[in-house]
Structure 1
C-alpha cells in the first residue's frame, strides 16, 4: 500500500506530500509575512547606511588628493631630481674610473713580492680575481688580456750581490731595461753549446728568448732595478732551476749528473724553507771562492744585449727618441746593433723597446700604431695622456712608476706637464718594423677637398694648417 506521506527524492531524502505541505504553509503564513516585512525594512536601512559611508569616503579621498596636488608635487619632483642626479653622477664617476684603469696601472702601489735577495712587482693578468690586490689592478689585467696585448710588465729589484736564480719562461720572451745599478747576465742556449755572459749598466737592454735559461746577478754596490717586459698577456709561466732539481727524484738526478758519491751526494742538498727566486744567502762569502767568468765575444753578446742609451738619438723640437728595434736590412744600425735587430726578429712575438724624452710642455702628438700594442713606464716627470678608440675616449695623468697601455689602432697622445722632462721606456708588441701614423701626417696627406666635405669648411681654410721642415712627432707650442 502506497503511503503518500513519504516520497523518495532523487537524493534519498524524505519529503511531505504536496497537500500536507500546502496546509502547513497556510497555517504558518501570518508569521512569515510579518518576518518578511521586518526583513525588507532592515535591508533598506543597511543600503542607505552603506551609501552614506561610501559618499563620505569618496569626499575625504577627493579632498586628500586636492591637498596633495597643491602641496606635495614640487617636493616630490625635487627629491626625484636629486636622486637621479646623484645616481647619474655616481655612474659617470664609476664609468670614468673603469675606463681609466683599462689603460693605467699604478705599478709602484701594487703588491710587493719580497724575497731574501730582492722584490718583484707586477702589472699583469691573473686568472683568479682574488690574486689581484685591487679592483684597479684587475681592470688593467683584464684589459691587456682581452686586447691580447702580448705584454706583461714588472719591476725586479735585486739587492747588491743578490741573484735572480737561473730560470726560464715557458710562454714568453723577456726584454728588460736596467733602470739602476749594474748586473752580470748569463744566457744558456739550446744544447748548452754557447753560454753567453755579459755585464749591463743603467740604460741598457737585455733579451732572453722563450725557454732560454738565464740568470741576473747584481754586481755593484747599489741595488739593481730592472723593468721587465714579457711577451704574453696570459699568466707568465716560469720554472726555476732549484725547483726543478728538488722536484726530480734523487736517483734520476744522480743518474743524470753522475756526481762523486752518487745518490748520497744528491741527498746532501737541502731545500730552503724560503723561496729562492731572488737569492742572497747570509753566508755568501763562505760559499764562493772565485766569481770569475770569461766574458763572451761581442757577436754572441749582442744577440741578447743592446746599448740603448748609447744608440742614435732621434731629435725632435719637443724631445728625443732612442730605439732598440728591428730595421729591415739593418738600415741606420751599426754592426752590433744589426745583430740584435736580427735576433729579435728571428724569434716569434718579441718586442720593440724605446725611450722617449719629452721636454716640459712638449707633446707626443696624437698618433696610432698599425701593427702593435704599446705599453710604457714613467721613469721621471709627469704627463697627461689621452686615448681615443672604438669605445669612450678618456684622458688622465701619469707619474713616476705608472704603467700605461695603448691598444693597437687607438689614437693617443702624451703631453709633458711637469717642470722636469718626462722620460719613459716604451714597449711595442712587434719584432718587426713598427708602423705609426701621426695626426699631422694624415691631415696633410688627405686631399683638402675631402677635408672640406668632411668638416663642412671651405677648402681654402685648410691652407692654414702649416707644413714644417722638422718632424713634429714630438713638438712644442
Structure 2
C-alpha cells in the first residue's frame, strides 16, 4: 500500500494552475502538477497555453510515455519513429490525442491562438532531453567526423541556441516556416 494514501493529512484535490513552470508572456505559459506538488499523484502533467505559431521544441523523455490531449485550439504534432525512421505528423483538434512513446523525439506547434493542451505523463516526474541541448552541446568536430558537416557552418548554425526554451521560438526570432503535414487521419467519431 502506498504510504502517501495512508497519511491522515491526505488530500486528493489539487490546483494544476498554481505551479508555473514557464512563462513567456500572458498568452504563452506552462503550469504543472507533478509528484512534488501533489504527492498522491502517480502521473503528472503540464497545462500548455500557446498562441498561434508557438512551438514546444523538439525533445524526448527517457523515462516517460506522454499523451498530448487538445482541450482547445489546434496543434500539429510530430514524432519520430525510431524503428521505421519515419516522421509521423498529425493535426489535432479539441478532444484528439497523440501518444508519444518513451524515448521518441517529438514536438508540436500551435496552429491557432488560444491553444490549450494537456500533456499527461505515466510517471510523477518525467525527465526531458531537449533537442536544443543536444544540438548546442555536440562539438562541431564530432558533427564533422560523424556526418561530414562543415564544423564552422555547424558552429555558426547552432550559435543562436542560448537556452532550451519550453516554448519557442526565442523572443525576436522570425523563423522561416515550411509546414510538412503528413501521417495521421482521424476518422469521424465512433459511438456505440
Q: Which TM-score band applies after superposition, normalised by the shorter structure?
A: 0.7 to 0.9
1:264 is matched with 152
Instruction: Please give the TM-score of this superposition, normalised by the length of structure 1.
Output: 0.36
Q: What residue is the counterpart of 2:14 in the other structure?
A: 105
The structure showing larger relative contact order (alpha-carbon pairs under 8 Å, at least 6 residues apart) is 2
| 2:88 counterpart of 1:179 | no
Which residue of the other structure, out of 284, 292, 295, is the alignment partner of 2:179?
292
Relative to structure 1, the CA distance from residue 157 to residue 201 in structure 2 (aligned partners, 3 Å threshold; closer, same or farther) is: same
CA distance in 2, matches of 1:183, 1:213: 17
The whole-number CA distance in structure 2 between the counterparts of 1:257 and 1:169 is 25
Structure 2 residues without counterparts, runs of 5 or longer: 1-6
Residue from 11, 29, 32 that aligns with 1:122: 32
Which residue matches 1:26? none
**Residues 158 and 164, structure 1, Cα contact 8 Å, conserved in 2:** no
CA RMSD after TM alignment: 2.5
Compared CA separation, residues 112 and 239, structure 1 to 2 (3 A): closer
Counterpart CA distance in 2 for 1:172 and 1:213 is 12
Equivalent of 2:100 in 189, 208, 211: 208
Q: Secondary structure at the match of 1:292?
A: coil
Does residue 312 of the first structure (1) align with residue 191 of the second (2)? yes
Superposed CA offset, 1:340-384 (max 9, x none) = xxxxxxxxxxxxxxxxxxxxxxxxxxxxxxxxxxxxxxxxxxxxx
State the TM-score, normalizing by the size of structure 2: 0.83
Aligned mates of 1:226, 1:109 — CA distance in 2: 16
Structure 2 CA distance, aligned partners of 1:272 and 1:176? 26
Q: Deviations over 1:135-170 (max 9, x none)?
A: xx3xx2x223xxxx3x11221122210011111101
The Cα shift of 1:274 comes to 4.4
Larger Rg: 1 or 2? 1
Q: Pairwise mapping of residues 422-437 of structure 1 onto structure 2 (< 5 A)?
A: none
- Determine the C-alpha separation between the residues in 2 that align with 1:214 and 1:240: 10
In the other structure, the counterpart of 1:143 is: 40
For the 8 Å contact 2:60–2:128, the answer to whether it is kept is: yes
Q: Please, which runs of 5 or more residues in structure 1 have no aligned partner?
A: 1-94, 127-136, 314-477
Deviations 1:44-66 (A, max 9, x none): xxxxxxxxxxxxxxxxxxxxxxx
| CA deviation after TM superposition for structure 1 residue 272, in Å | 4.0
Instruction: For residues 194-231 of structure 1, give each alpha carbon's deviation from its aligned partner in whole angstroms, at most 9, with x where no partner exists.
Output: 111110111111110111111100112x1321111101
CA distance in 2, matches of 1:280, 1:294: 19
Partner of residue 3, structure 2: none
